[in-house]
A and B are shown apart, each in its own frame.
Chain A
Amino acid sequence: MPGLIGKKIGMTSIFVEDKMLACTLLEVGPCFVTQIKTRDKDGYEAVQIGFEEKKEKHTTKPLLGHFSKAGVTPKRVLKEFDFNPSDYKLGDILKADLFQEGDIVSVVGKTKGKGFQGVVKRHGFAGVGGQTHGQHNRLRHPGSMGACSFPSRVFKGKKLGGQTGGNQVTIQNLKVLKVYPEKNLVVVSGSVPGSNGSYLIIKK
């Protein structure tokens, strides 16, 4: 799937056909082709692109070599995409005009970290609701866990509390509402994972 690397700017709402729609502003590109992978050399076909400038002093020497080979300045994020390799050459610039109004895109990103959360927030458990029948101080507890003398253990994979958020998520079927190629700006309907300023992959 071809796509670009971008950044979340923030959310607002706009009017589309007299209806107010929640939308997210994404800064998409400009991305630079840093490597072209061919079937002969790498065993598969892909185009590696880089996004956002990075200072040379913050780049390791092996990576500096990688960038100088492509003839581009150091980039912060590198990702491979399923472009047709014969259409591109090293150092090419890919811009937000890859997307058009009305396109359906998927956005991949890392969700906001929520820390260690209980079962009510993490898995949507209802908690132990009762106020009477001897129930106290267990409003948000998981309740009964296993069965009886059989199996006399808790099954693996039991939903419990733990680290929530901070994992990779793909949001599918987001509609492109507006594209401003000269500002590298794409407006998609709905929300995307992560906080403002986090990196995203926008796939066509």
Chain B
Amino acid sequence: MRALFDLVEDYKKTDIPDFKAGDTVAAHVIIKEGNKERIQVFQGIVIQRRGSGATETVTIRKISAGEIGVERIFPIHSPIISKFEVLRKGKVRRARIFYIRKLKGKSARIKEKLS
């Protein structure tokens, strides 16, 4: 039965880097304007990874203009994302770090995980 799903979900990417909540990630989004294409980078902290398989999504939160929190949800295997770039590994204790939404400034920092 599961094999039939794999057949349909043939758009799955194999080159997704390993990242999880707390990491700083840049998503390279392809934006089509007329017949021109350009790449917009959305960079921020991964708050959660949700789902599994071909329908898995990631929520990335960035602080825009110094104080406004902006969150975007991307399907990880979406064709409009050219690549994910892992910029920094964060050290957090949870798989979903929603508490970060309430924090501002210094307290919203995440320690770097040094391997």
Which residues of A does B touch, CB under 8 Å? 9-10, 12-15, 18, 20, 23, 25, 27, 178, 180, 183, 185, 187
- Does B79 lie at the interface of the complex (its beta carbon under 8 Å from any beta carbon of A)? yes
- The reply to whether A18 and B79 form a contact with Cβ atoms under 8 Å apart is yes
Question: Contacts of A27 on B, CB cut-off 8 Å?
Answer: 4
A14 CA to B8 CA in the complex, in Å?
Answer: 8
Asked if A187 and B8 make an inter-chain contact with CB atoms under 8 angstroms apart, the answer reads yes
Which positions in B face A, CB cutoff 8 Å?
A: 1, 4-5, 7-9, 11, 53-55, 75, 77-80
In the bound complex, do residue B7 and residue A180 qualify as a contact, i.e. CB atoms below 8 Å apart?
Answer: yes
**A183-B4, A183-B7 given. 4 additional CB < 8 A pairs?**
A12-B53, A15-B78, A23-B8, A25-B4
- On whether the beta carbons of A13 and B55 are closer than 8 Å, the reply is yes
Output the least CB separation between A64 and chain B (Å).
30
CA distance A18 to B31 in the complex (A): 11
Counted as pairs of residues, one from A and one from B, with CB atoms less than 8 Å apart, the total is 40
Cβ contacts under 8 Å, A187 to chain B: 8
Question: Given A18-B80, A20-B78 in contact, is the A12-B55 Cβ separation under 8 Å?
Answer: yes
Question: B5 is contacted by which of A12, A15, A18, A20 (Cβ under 8 Å)?
Answer: A12
- 17 chain-A/chain-B pairs, Cβ below 8 angstroms: A9-B1, A9-B5, A12-B8, A12-B53, A12-B54, A13-B54, A14-B8, A14-B11, A14-B54, A15-B78, A15-B79, A18-B78, A18-B79, A178-B8, A183-B7, A185-B7, A185-B8
Of the candidates A18, A20, A25, which one forms a contact with B8 in the assembled complex, judged by CB atoms under 8 Å apart?
A25
For B4, list chain A residues within 8 Å (CB). 9, 25, 27, 183, 185
> Which residues of A sit under 8 angstroms from B1, Cβ to Cβ?
9-10
Query: Which of chain A's residues have a CB closer than 8 A to the CB of B77?
Result: 15
Give the residues in chain B near A13, CB-CB below 8 Å: 54-55
From residue A158, how far is it (CB to closest CB) to chain B in Å? 43
What is the bound-complex CA distance between A20 and B53, given in angstroms? 14
Bound-complex Cα distance A171 to B105 (A): 52
Complex formed: what's the CA distance from A180 to B53 in Å? Answer: 21
Closest to A180 in B: B7
Q: How far is the CA of A180 from the CA of B9 in the complex (A)?
A: 13
A185 to B75, CA, bound (A): 25
* Contact between chains at A14 and B78 (CB < 8 Å): no
Q: With a 10 A CB-CB cut-off, give which of A15, A18, A25 has the most chain B CB atoms.
A: A15
B37 vs chain A, min Cβ distance (A) = 11
Contacts of B55 in A (CB 8 A): 12-13
Q: Nearest-CB distance from A179 to chain B (Å)? A: 11
Q: How far is the CB of A196 from chain B (nearest CB, A)?
A: 9
Between B1, B8, B77, B78, the greatest number of chain A beta carbons within 10 A of the residue's beta carbon is seen for: B8
Instruction: Determine whether the beta carbon of A25 is less than 8 Å from that of B5.
Output: yes
Nearest-neighbour CB distance to chain A for B28, whole angstroms, equals 15
